[in-house]
Each structure stands twice: as C-alpha cells, then as structure tokens.
Amino acid sequence: MAYTEEELKKELETKEYEYGFYTDIESDTFPKGLSEDIVIAISQKKQEPEWMTEWRLEAFRFWKEMEEPEWANVKYEKPNFQDISYYSAPNKKPKYNSLDEVDPELLDTFKRLGISLDEQKKLAGVAVDIVMDSVSVATTFKKTLAEKGIIFCSISEAIQDHPELVKKYIGTVVPQKDNFYAALNSAVFSDGSFCYIPKGVRCPMELSTYFRINQAGTGQFERTLVIADEGSYVSYLEGCTAPSRDENQLHAAVVELIALDDAEIKYSTVQNWYPGDKEGKGGVFNFVTKRGICEENAKISWTQVETGSAVTWKYPSCVLKGDNSIGEFYSIAVTNNYQQADTGTKMIHLGKNTKSTIISKGISAGQSQNSYRGLVQVNSRAENARNFSQCDSLLMGNRCGAHTFPYIETKNKSAQIEHEATTSKIGEDQIFYCNQRGIDTEKAIALIVNGFSKEVLNKLPMEFAVEAQKLLEISLEGSVG
C-alpha cells in the first residue's frame, strides 16, 4: 500500500464533501435555453468550420425528436433543458503560455483540488489537460508528446488544427442519434479532449484530464475522442471533482475510443462529482455515453471508480469488430445516502475469437440504489467468442439496494459465456473482528471495502489507485452507525 496513514487520517477528518466550494470567476455565459440559434452561436463562438456547425445542427434536430430514456433503475426530477445555459467559459484569456498568466483564483482552485500544475509537472509521466468549465485552460507536456507525433489537445483545438482527423472519426463510434444524451452532447458540446497516437507509437506517459463543473446552472457537455492508430498504445486517465451546488447539475459527456489494428487503449476514470447532501438534495446528474471500437487484434480496457453524482447513468462499452480483439471493463461503483447509480457495460462481439472480461464491484450504503446493467452480445459471425462476467455487490446496512441486470444475447453457438454474481454484506462480526484488533469502525469499513474492490483497484495506474482508495473511504464515511 502506497498511501501513508497520515494522509488517510487527514482525509478521514474531512467530513463534508471536501471539494464543495465555488470559485468566483467572471464567466461569459449564454442565455439559458436551447435552439438552433444557440447551437449556431456555440459553433461560431468557437470559430468552427461549417461542417462542424452542420454536424451539430443535425444532432440537434435528432435530439428534438427524441425522448429521455426511462428504463434505467433510477428516479430523479428530469432537468428542464430550457433552463440550462449551454455555454460558459472562464472570461479571462482562454489560453496561457505560463502559469503566471493564469487567474490566481483559478490556480487556487487547482491547489485546493490537489492538482496544482507545479506539482503535476513534477509528477513524472503525467501530462495534464485541465477542463475548467468548458474551455481548456492549460496543457502541459505538449512538447514531449509532439516529438513522438502524439496529438493531445482540447477538442476545440483539434477541430481547428486537425480537422481531417476529427471529421473522419467523430461520431463513428457514438453516432449523433445514438441516444438522447449523446444527441444533446453532439449538438452543444463545449469542449473536451482529443488524442491521437500515431502508428506504432507507445505513448510514454499517462495522459490525464481533470474535469470540473463550476458555473452555477451550467450544463457540462464534454466530448472526448481518442484515436490509437495501428500498433500504438495509450493509457488515458480521467478524473473529476465538482463544487457543491444546491440545484442539480447536468453532465452529459460523450467519449469515443478508436483502437485500430493491434492498438491498445486503457481508459481509467475516477469519478467524484458532487453526490448531493445527506438528505439527497443537490448533486450532479451524470449521463455519459462511453464507447470504444476495436479493430483486428486491438484491445480496449475501461476501468472506472464511481463514487460521486446524485444520479449516474453510464455504460462504457466495447464494440469488438476486428477478429481477436479484446474488451475489458473493470468497475467500482459506490453509492451512499440517496445516490442512485445504474452502470455497467456492453460488450458487442462481432469479430472471430473476440474476448471480453467484465468485473463489476458495486458498494451500496445508506438508502442508495446501485444497479449493474450489462449486455454481452455475440453476433452470428463471431466464432469462438468468449466472455467472463463477475458482478459482486457489497451492502452496508438494510436500507440500500443492489441490483444486477445481466443481458446475454448470442447468435453463435460456439460462444462461451460465463457469468458469476455474488452479494455480500459487511457483517457485524467482521467489524468486531477488526475492532478487536484495534481498528475503529470507519477504518474497518475502508479496509473491507478496499479488499472487496481490490481486483479493480489493481487495474488502475498507481497514482490513481491511491486517489481511488481515498475516495472510497471519503464516500463511505458515516455510512455505518
């Protein structure tokens, strides 16, 4: 274990959501509401080429005809989409050459988040592209990456500087009309990250992005596009925190991953949006579409630790198109108090000898509801497809719920599909055993939860694993009493 006890102690002393503060930065915010005019205005604001504007408008027209999905096992008051502002950017200079130029208050925010750029720069092997509200304000390590021909920038920049790549791939994995939230995102996405790894290149560092919602009443519509060209490798980290707000905040991101022949993408997320207070008031609505496509011999791994949000609706998926391609999904989802999570994955086997692994760990406390929903689909052409799924639920107390909805559809008899599911409860005997060894209840729960989640935590890059362990502890504080 890399974390020091001192660090843990400090974390345990913070009872309230520690990133629950609001940075007062003047913003350039659009009037509330959504129309074709707003979509055009967003596109113009970002000086996008016409094809992009058209693409957005097309998405908007799809969206207008669509209905919000009802099938997830979550209940919430639907957002009023005309009461949201669809664009907000920190008002100051949007690009900085050095830290000195950055708004001191913004820097302070980063420090409080524990991600000061200075520190990050020192943290060997991590390039940081920070999305503050909607516009990227800082990018580091660009030079090192550029030497290898790696492009890592905001999607807005990519639209300007690499239009051919964006045009070729955007919407190919998650089409505009894929679902209600994806359509909304396609119409109004404000910013996000773009990454391209050239043929045969192994990205020498973990690429990471920190997301953060800031402006009151501002929706966040991030768009991420990662392309790993033939034979390349990249590990991408995404982490986020949000300040506490009273009204619900909508987050509808789209992430598209493209792994060409023999390429590998590892995409790790530690998600910590504001979950709402103990009574279930406030909190972020997180409706995310994440999907990757694997060409021949390619591999995509999704690893996620979900501790935040009032409502989470998220199914990172793999389309195993190429023969011998591999999809993996490792997930820890924690819900406490009144949080609701409906999360899982889809593994679509199209190619021959395709393989997928699903390891899902759900932890529910308080009065929360935690659902795993997974689909394993094997097409008729997919000879010898294999899947292994394991869904474990851990319950704390009697008022929370864990639900598992595995869907299996196979059209090829050679498919081998294994599904295992367990539900356990943190027992009083386990806690007493720890207590008897001098470990208090809060710490005992953290220990048991970390043990339960170990298979997934082990999949995370080191720095992230430490962060994730801390998050698990914080998000389960006060859940047994």
Strands 88-90 and 27-29: antiparallel
Give me the DSSP letters along 26-39: -EEEPPB---HHHH
Q: How far is the CB of 473 from other proteins (least distance, A)?
A: 12
What whole-number distance in Å separates Cα of residue 369 and Cα of residue 69?
A: 18
Residue 11 contacts other proteins per CB under 8 A: no
Residue 453 contacts other proteins per CB under 8 A: yes
What whole-number distance in Å separates Cα of residue 315 and Cα of residue 343?
A: 5
Residue 293 contacts other proteins per CB under 8 A: no
Helices (H) and strands (E) counted in the chain, each on its own, are 12, 23
Among 265, 452, 469, 470, binds other proteins (CB under 8 A): 452
Number of residues that bind other proteins (CB under 8 A): 28
Compute, in degrees rounded to 10, the torsion defined by CA atoms 420, 421, 426, 430. -20
Among 447, 466, 477, 480, binds other proteins (CB under 8 A): 447
Helix (H, G, I), strand (E, B) or coil at 281: coil
Residue 454 contacts other proteins per CB under 8 A: yes
Among 54, 118, 161, 428, binds other proteins (CB under 8 A): 428
What whole-number distance in Å separates Cα of residue 286 and Cα of residue 245?
A: 15
Residue 13 contacts other proteins per CB under 8 A: no
* Stretch of residues binding other proteins (CB under 8 A), selected from 12-20, 45-53, 404-412, 451-459: 451-459
Q: How far is the CB of 471 from other proteins (least distance, A)?
A: 17
Residue 462 contacts other proteins per CB under 8 A: no
Q: Is 80 exposed, middle or buried (0-12, 13-18, 19+ CB in 10 A)?
A: exposed
Q: How many CB atoms sit inside 10 A of residue 75's CB? A: 8
Residue 5 contacts other proteins per CB under 8 A: yes
- Residue 251 phi/psi, 5-degree rounding, is -130, 115
Residue 104 contacts other proteins per CB under 8 A: no
What whole-number distance in Å separates Cα of residue 151 and Cα of residue 227?
A: 10
Among 443, 463, 466, 477, binds other proteins (CB under 8 A): 443
Residue 480 contacts other proteins per CB under 8 A: no
Inter-residue contact 197 to 205 (CB < 8 Å): no
Of 4 and 44, nearer to other proteins (C-beta) is 4
Residue 436 contacts other proteins per CB under 8 A: yes
Among 75, 143, 413, 437, binds other proteins (CB under 8 A): 437
What whole-number distance in Å separates Cα of residue 287 and Cα of residue 357?
A: 23
- Give me 53's structure tokens: 């504007």
* Stretch of residues binding other proteins (CB under 8 A), selected from 5-13, 105-113, 155-163, 350-358: 5-13
Residue 438 contacts other proteins per CB under 8 A: yes
Among 118, 414, 455, 462, binds other proteins (CB under 8 A): 455
Q: Where do contacts with other proteins occur on this chain (CB under 8 A)?
A: 1, 4-6, 9, 427-430, 432-441, 443, 447-448, 450-455
